[in-house]
Amino acid sequence: MTTEQKTDTVKITVDGLEMEARPGDLLIRVAQDNGVYIPRFCWHPRMRPVGMCRMCLVQVEGPRGPMIVPACTTPVADGMVVDTQNDTVAKAQEGVLEYLLINHPLDCPVCDRGGECPLQDQTMAYGPGESRFVEEKRHYEKPIQISELVLLDRERCILCARCTRFSEEISGDPLIEFIGRGYNTQVNTFPNEPFRSYFSGNTVQICPVGALLGAPYRFRARPWDLREVASTCPHCSAGDSISVQVSQNEVLRLLGVDNPHTNQSWLSDKCRFGYEFVNSAERLAAPLVRGSDGELREATWVEALDIVADRLGGILREHGGGAVAGLGGARGTNEDAYAFSKFMRTVVGSNHVDARMDDAPASQFLAAVVDRARIDDIDSAATIVVWGPDLKEEHPTLYLRVRAAATGFDPNQVVSNSDGLKIRRPGARLIVMHPRRTGLDDVARHVLRYRPGAGGELLTSLQAGDHPEIDEALAAGPVVALVGRASMTEDPRLAENVAAWLRDKGAKILPLARRANTFGALDMGLAPDLLPGRVPVGEGFESWGEIPTTVGRDTRGILEGLRDGDIKALIMVGADPVADVPDSHLATEALANAEFVVAIDMFHTESTAYADVILPALGFAEKEGTVTNLEGRVQKVNDIVAGEGQSRADWSILDDIARRLGKELGFATAAEIAKEISEVAPAYRGITWDLLEWDEPMGAIVPYGDATQPLQYVPVTTSLPTVAAEMVLHSARTLYDDGVLMRHTPWLHRLAPGAAAYLHPDDAFRLGAREGHRVRVVTKHAEAELEVRLDETLHRGVVYVPFNQPDGPRLGSDPIVRVTAIG
């Protein structure tokens, strides 16, 4: 044994086992990390301890003899000697369990938690065999619906404060709280204020009993009937780790998995409850072809694929590869995206391909910006800049992470019960630039609001040093900047300009784009200027033989080409440009004018209405592969249910079309594609499924190991025009919207805020409109009548209309707007 005593570790003894730990770490965590499990209900590794349930009582030798203390609030100190099992401790723990059980209804047979319940498990392990309580138990109405998604059974509740702490400390929307006191304490919502939180489902997952219940899962399965597989969230680009749980070939529940690099076990409700589409009755089950009467009819795969090959082949022969374009690929796996990219380049011979729906920043910026931050850089940043979408709406788990950093949240913090920020480690300085209130404003040090179309102007003034407080914050590095497109009506180049400025200030950049696998798709070459593995088009990429070397058209260019007749055919892979492209009118004209459109999709969409052939695709939980998140982390997704009807994987459909066109993509399984990616895509060299399953279960960052990234994209400042108009339009996405997956997930679809015209009260007054009145909103290409909602956080002269809402208007990307009162 070495005599050297390191100052940054302490030695403690737990049940005779010696353990090393950092001083100040909580005893319960140190013991667990070293293999001694101390029972607990209220302590959660991602939340601050409260020491309320008292289940984790252990004996610690103190200067005044043995003391019984809760392990969850006791920081370790050098030489500490702990007994977690002696008779005194065992009696104390049994006593606590008896207390928790005297009022517990023991309705385990009808409780969702039965079979996976910490109260059941710990009663087995540490509890009394029978009850000495002969009085009447506490009764409450059971259960009560506290939101559209969550029910609460207060009789089962053991008052551990996990849900209330989560809402207050983690998600920042404290909508459930303890009311009453003592024996009559209960968890409840405030009167007339439902638990309408984007993160409410986390409380269901962390509830140690069946008190909080997820409405979509309630009574659907017993835990022992569930099969599960690890996977990655299909809804946003943070790459949240999840467990997919299935019974009888139906996805019934998703749970958050603690990946320290991404979601730290949390999920937004969109991810948690957003699986209903998989089981939707409206899934496409068989290929559809459009007959000469213009109506779609079911066809066999052979017939449908023959038609596609025939029509595409004809166009290719007549007009060449440049007449065919591809859209989509951001909703599938990297393997599917690679196959689509290879199909477009080697079979079609076209670089007109884009996974972005004209709503994201430049592809090279997203794929290869240097210096790129990692998500966990947020934790240690001194300053965080968010200039882009409202993270709460578009990147909910990043929102949680930034929020924690800004509040100085530390799950090891024992001094609690006060939000006096001074007693915590100081939070990062958070700077938020956005056209209106965002979910993070309440924890931000600086909030700058601006009018869409004037982002460049704000940036210029920042560069000119007009905001010394921002300069000062940026000088206090390390700085992490989350940069994306804040508004559909803002110049898409603004993000790169912002990144260029911040990079000069020493910030690391985390680029933002919303659709789940946008970053994977771009890395696979689903962009007019990119090839697999972050290789720019035109630079050496030998593996595919001869491929077009000039940069192709992006989504807007493709749609304009289709409209103008330069492009004849369109292949859509999980793409719905009519709904997703901000300038919907352009997408509509383009699709209407296309000679031939083939769609590979899970559902009918507004865009498939223009398709000549629709091929049913496998979706989430039905196929195995990899995805890449916004920091470049590659993770597995796995299959656990059979696909709907005759649906097939995108890559296999494309391979069949290729064969009919006389070429081969050259793989027979998704695993073979993954192997090929790991061999030919430079930044992805060495990333195999084996690696992700065994060596890097939390994902591998690209470029991995000694792999190289040929494209090093350094953003530069360009000059941006400022839009001058009396009123400008702000259009941004909301967490729940009318996207195709949400539309087929009724639990969430009905929670979309809906279309409305949000106006600053001054503007509304000027227009003579009040809350609830209707106004006419007229843009360059569209107009709509909308209900007025007042929003004093808006910049004056801005009307905000949430993007892509059920029955909502499609107002386009032009910021100039005219608003008039009706009647």
Partner 1 sequence: MTLTTSFERPLVVTKRMVDYPNDSHTLERYRATGGYEGARKALGMTRDELVELVKESGLLGRGGAAFSAGMKWSLLAPARPAYLIVNGDESEPGTFKDRQLIERDPHQIIEGTIIAAWANEVNHAFIYIRGEYAKPARRLQAAIDEAYAAGILGDDVLGTGYRLDITVHLGAGAYICGEETALINSLEGRRGEPRLKPPYFPAAIGLYGQPTIVNNIETVSNLPHILVNGVDWYKGLGHPEDTGTFMISLSGHVNRPGNYELPHGITWRQLFEEVGGGIRNGNELKMWIPGGASAPWFTPEEHLDLEITKGAAAGAGSMLGSGAVIVMDETTCVVRAAERVVRFFAHESCGECTPCREGTSWLEMILRRIEAGQGRPIDADLLLDVSDNINIGLTFPPRQTTICPLGPSATSPIMSIMNYYKDEVLQHIELGRCPFS
Selected binder of partner 1 within 415, 668, 716, 724 (CB under 8 A): 415
Is 370 near partner 1 (CB under 8 A)? Answer: no
Contact 475, 493 (CB under 8 A): no
The distance of closest approach from Cβ of residue 94 to partner 1 in the complex, given in angstroms and rounded to an integer, is: 8
540 to 360, 493, 545, 681: CA distances (angstroms): 27, 27, 10, 11
Question: Smaller CB distance to partner 1: residue 75 or 812?
Answer: 75
**H helical segments located in 153-300:** 162-165, 200-206, 269-273
Contact 147, 195 (CB under 8 A): yes
The distance of closest approach from Cβ of residue 411 to partner 1 in the complex, given in angstroms and rounded to an integer, is: 14
The distance of closest approach from Cβ of residue 168 to partner 1 in the complex, given in angstroms and rounded to an integer, is: 11
The distance of closest approach from Cβ of residue 811 to partner 1 in the complex, given in angstroms and rounded to an integer, is: 43
Question: Smaller CB distance to partner 1: residue 165 or 744?
Answer: 165
Contact stretch for partner 1 (CB under 8 A) within 418-426, 435-443, 561-569, 679-687: 418-426
Contact 763, 727 (CB under 8 A): yes
Estimate the crossing angle of helix 334-342 against helix 670-680, to 10 degrees.
70
* Helix, strand, coil percentages in the chain from 3-state DSSP, rounded to 5: 30, 20, 50
Selected binder of partner 1 within 420, 465, 468, 721 (CB under 8 A): 420
Is 414 near partner 1 (CB under 8 A)? Answer: yes
Q: Residue written as tokens 């965590």? A: 29
The distance of closest approach from Cβ of residue 194 to partner 1 in the complex, given in angstroms and rounded to an integer, is: 21
CA distance linking residue 314 with residue 308, whole number of Å? 10
Amino acid at 391: L
Question: Smaller CB distance to partner 1: residue 26 or 752?
Answer: 26
Contact stretch for partner 1 (CB under 8 A) within 146-154, 285-293, 376-384, 409-417: 409-417
Question: Smaller CB distance to partner 1: residue 42 or 353?
Answer: 42
Is 571 near partner 1 (CB under 8 A)? Answer: no
Contacts within 8 Å (CB) and 24+ apart, 190-193: none
Is 99 near partner 1 (CB under 8 A)? Answer: yes
* Residues near 419 by beta carbon (within 8 Å), at least 6 away in sequence: none
Number of residues that bind partner 1 (CB under 8 A): 44
19 to 9, 25, 32, 532: CA distances (angstroms): 10, 12, 11, 47
Question: Smaller CB distance to partner 1: residue 181 or 317?
Answer: 181
Which secondary structure element, helix H or strand E, spans residue 563, and what is its range?
A: helix 555-564
Contact stretch for partner 1 (CB under 8 A) within 98-106, 237-245, 314-322, 571-579: 98-106
Is 407 near partner 1 (CB under 8 A)? Answer: no
Which secondary structure element, helix H or strand E, spans residue 464, and what is its range?
A: none
The distance of closest approach from Cβ of residue 59 to partner 1 in the complex, given in angstroms and rounded to an integer, is: 10
Amino acid at 57: L
Contact 433, 486 (CB under 8 A): yes
Q: Is the dihedral of CA 789, 793, 796, 797 positive or negative?
A: negative
For the segment 509-548, give every residue that binds partner 1 (CB under 8 A).
none
Selected binder of partner 1 within 11, 45, 95, 696 (CB under 8 A): 95
Question: Smaller CB distance to partner 1: residue 100 or 575?
Answer: 100
The distance of closest approach from Cβ of residue 174 to partner 1 in the complex, given in angstroms and rounded to an integer, is: 11
The distance of closest approach from Cβ of residue 109 to partner 1 in the complex, given in angstroms and rounded to an integer, is: 24
For the segment 115-144, give every residue that binds partner 1 (CB under 8 A).
132-135
Question: Smaller CB distance to partner 1: residue 69 or 108?
Answer: 69
Dmax over Cα atoms in the chain, in whole Å?
93
Question: Smaller CB distance to partner 1: residue 91 or 770?
Answer: 91
Selected binder of partner 1 within 17, 144, 370, 421 (CB under 8 A): 421
Q: How far is CA 589 from the centre of its chain?
A: 32
The distance of closest approach from Cβ of residue 206 to partner 1 in the complex, given in angstroms and rounded to an integer, is: 18
Selected binder of partner 1 within 2, 7, 292, 418 (CB under 8 A): 418
Contact 339, 650 (CB under 8 A): yes
For the segment 185-204, give every residue that binds partner 1 (CB under 8 A).
185
Q: How far is CA 652 from the centre of its chain?
A: 27
CA distance linking residue 336 with residue 554, whole number of Å? 19
Question: Smaller CB distance to partner 1: residue 6 or 132?
Answer: 132
Selected binder of partner 1 within 80, 159, 278, 510 (CB under 8 A): 159
Selected binder of partner 1 within 10, 27, 100, 751 (CB under 8 A): 100
The distance of closest approach from Cβ of residue 442 to partner 1 in the complex, given in angstroms and rounded to an integer, is: 17
Q: Which of 586, 585, 565, 575 is nearest to 608 (CA)?
A: 575
Is 422 near partner 1 (CB under 8 A)? Answer: yes
> Parallel, antiparallel, or unpaired: how do β-strands 596-601 and 613-616 relate?
parallel
Q: Which of 663, 687, 656, 683 is nearest to 674 (CA)?
A: 687
Question: Smaller CB distance to partner 1: residue 131 or 708?
Answer: 131
Site string for partner 1, 50-89 (x = CB under 8 A): xxxxxx-x---------xx----x--------------x-
Question: Smaller CB distance to partner 1: residue 89 or 299?
Answer: 89
Selected binder of partner 1 within 34, 145, 416, 543 (CB under 8 A): 416
CB atoms within 10 A of CB 11: 14
CA angle in degrees (0–180, nearest 5) for 245-241-164: 85
For the segment 348-367, give every residue that binds partner 1 (CB under 8 A).
none
Question: Smaller CB distance to partner 1: residue 183 or 219?
Answer: 183
For the segment 11-50, give every residue that binds partner 1 (CB under 8 A).
49-50
CA distance linking residue 22 with residue 293, whole number of Å? 74
Question: Smaller CB distance to partner 1: residue 80 or 521?
Answer: 80
Question: Smaller CB distance to partner 1: residue 93 or 489?
Answer: 93
Contact stretch for partner 1 (CB under 8 A) within 176-184, 195-203, 575-583, 793-801: 176-184
The distance of closest approach from Cβ of residue 791 to partner 1 in the complex, given in angstroms and rounded to an integer, is: 27
Question: Smaller CB distance to partner 1: residue 49 or 536?
Answer: 49
Is 683 near partner 1 (CB under 8 A)? Answer: no
DSSP calls for 199-233: THHHHHHH-SSSSEEETTTTTS--GGG-EEEEEE-
Contact 633, 598 (CB under 8 A): no
393 to 365, 433, 440, 522: CA distances (angstroms): 22, 15, 11, 23
The distance of closest approach from Cβ of residue 25 to partner 1 in the complex, given in angstroms and rounded to an integer, is: 15
Q: What is the DSSP letter of 442?
A: G
Token reading at 609: 């209405």
CB atoms within 10 A of CB 241: 26
Contact stretch for partner 1 (CB under 8 A) within 100-108, 298-306, 552-560, 584-592: 100-108
Question: Smaller CB distance to partner 1: residue 261 or 424?
Answer: 424
Question: Smaller CB distance to partner 1: residue 93 or 203?
Answer: 93
Q: Which of 776, 676, 766, 45 is nearest to 412 (CA)?
A: 45
Contact 112, 714 (CB under 8 A): no
> Any bridge partners for residue 11, and if so which?
20
Q: How many distinct helices (H) and strands (E) make up the chain?
A: 25, 36
> Parallel, antiparallel, or unpaired: how do β-strands 757-759 and 798-800 relate?
antiparallel
Q: Tell me which residues touch partner 1 (CB under 8 A).
A: 49-55, 57, 67-68, 73, 88, 91-92, 95-96, 98-100, 102-103, 132-135, 158-159, 177-178, 180-185, 414-418, 420-423
